[in-house]
Amino acid sequence: DGKYMVSLIEGDGIGPEISQSVKDIYSAANVPIKWESVDVTPMLKDGKTVIPDSAIESITRNYVALKGPLATPVGKGHVSLNLTLRRTFNLFANVRPCKSIAGYKTPYDNVDTLLIRENTEGEYSGIEHVVVDGVVQSIKLITKDASERVLRYAFQYAQDVGRLKVRAVHKATIMKMSDGLFLSLANKMAKEYPNIEFDAELLDNTCLKVVTDPSPYNDKVLVMPNLYGDILSDMCAGLIGGLGLTPSANIGDECSIFEAVHGSAPDIAGKGLANPTALLLSSIMMLQHMGLTEHADRIQGAIFKTLAEGKTITGDLGGKAKTHEYAAAVIKNL
Ligand code: IPM
Ligand code: MN
């Protein structure tokens, strides 16, 4: 029927409520998408966390998935499902833009950062062991292949969107070998893109500078190893109002998963108080990725208009609206 199938992982906690907002807005906007609900309840197989075959089949078949928050246990317990998904589908690049929301006041104006995070290895490789009692070792794994893959993606992305400055963020002063490898590959790749201005910056310095004055980052694509990107992307999100407002895209060769970065917020789950904006904006990245740019622009415009009006916004933004009231306001603004 000319519709695209998209796998939908509603997620835990507030996941179903914010997913409902996306579904409602998409049907009101006549987006040619059919949602295929996917269950990702984890299973243990040979001591490893795996997701059900039906989920893998759905996402593989549909190439794109939208994902709500999945709770990640701290310390002991199963491996994060979020990571299992990234690993299962080899989603090697995580794209995280943070753009100021008109009408939502923060200490910074016109923030527009763009961060690309290596998404499969580094400290997230999951290789940890007790050496002797009281001494543990967690391995940070950096490979040439994964580094080149994400660097290539970043340079190509910069090229494609015309944001022609790439900056590698690293700590090669201390992580001489691992970050040293990442950095040298970045330098090498930069030579293949003579029209892109390339430089590098130490992570701690980036943190200091971005919270002091984010504006010099408005024309750059930042690319970095996994854990640095995890931390720095939250810092950038803080500049514009937090994780309730920032989207993210996990890009792979075979498929891509678009996800809100925030948690499952069990304290407000089921109460209709959650802000669906991050998931909505992630879905906009998905529409752009699918080439449905007109729908993307239209829905994004309605979201920004609703937020700028500031009348029908959720509690986290200082408003009183319920999740479904906010969604209804977005629909009105389509
Ligand atoms: C993120 C999250 C995840 C991460 C968690 C939920 C495993 O914080 O997407 O940034 O650490 O990558
Ligand atoms: Mn994070």
Whole-number Å distance, alpha carbon 243 to ligand 2 midpoint, is 9
ipTM exceeding 0.90? yes
The answer, yes or no, to whether residue 71 has pLDDT greater than 70, is yes
Give the closest residue (by CA) to ligand 1 atom 2.
261
Give the closest residue (by CA) to ligand 1 atom 9.
261
In order of 164, 274, 279, the CA distances from 216 in angstroms are 13, 33, 27
Q: What angle do CA 129, 92, 97 make, to 5 degrees?
A: 110
95 in ligand 1 pocket by Cβ < 6 Å? no
Contacts with 131 (C-beta within 8 Å, 6 or more apart), sequence order: 137
Average pLDDT on 27-50 reads: 90
CA 99 – CA 218 distance, rounded (Å):
9
Tokens, residue 157: 């992305």
Give the ligand 1 atom nearest the CA of 259.
Answer: 9
Whole-number Å distance, alpha carbon 125 to ligand 1 midpoint, is 13
The answer, yes or no, to whether residue 73 has pLDDT greater than 90, is no
Give the ligand 1 atom nearest the CA of 86.
Answer: 12
Whole-number Å distance, alpha carbon 64 to ligand 2 midpoint, is 21
DSSP-derived secondary structure for 108-173:
SSS-EEEEEEE-SSBGGG--EEEEETTEEEE--B--HHHHHHHHHHHHHHHHHHT--EEEEEE-TT
Q: What value does the mean pLDDT of the chain take?
A: 96
Contact in structure between 250 and 87 (CB atoms under 8 Å): no
72 in ligand 1 pocket by Cβ < 6 Å? yes
Whole-number Å distance, alpha carbon 231 to ligand 2 midpoint, is 6
Tokens, residue 334: 């389509």
pLDDT for 42 equals 82
Q: What is the DSSP letter of 79?
A: P
Q: How confident is the model at residue 78 (pLDDT cuts 50, 70, 90)?
A: low
The answer, yes or no, to whether residue 49 has pLDDT greater than 90, is no
230 in ligand 1 pocket by Cβ < 6 Å? yes
How do residues 187-197 score in pLDDT, each as one tens digit? 999 999 999 99
How do residues 303-322 score in pLDDT, each as one tens digit? 999 999 999 999 999 999 99
The answer, yes or no, to whether residue 145 has pLDDT greater than 80, is yes
How do residues 163-175 score in pLDDT, each as one tens digit? 999 999 999 999 9
Q: What is the pTM of this model?
A: 0.96
Q: How confident is the model at residue 2 (pLDDT cuts 50, 70, 90)?
A: confident
80 in ligand 1 pocket by Cβ < 6 Å? yes
Whole-number Å distance, alpha carbon 83 to ligand 1 midpoint, is 8
CA 289 – CA 308 distance, rounded (Å):
25
Which of 72, 78, 117, 248 maximizes ligand 1 atoms within 8 Å of its Cβ, making it the mutation to test the pocket? 72
The answer, yes or no, to whether residue 76 has pLDDT greater than 80, is no
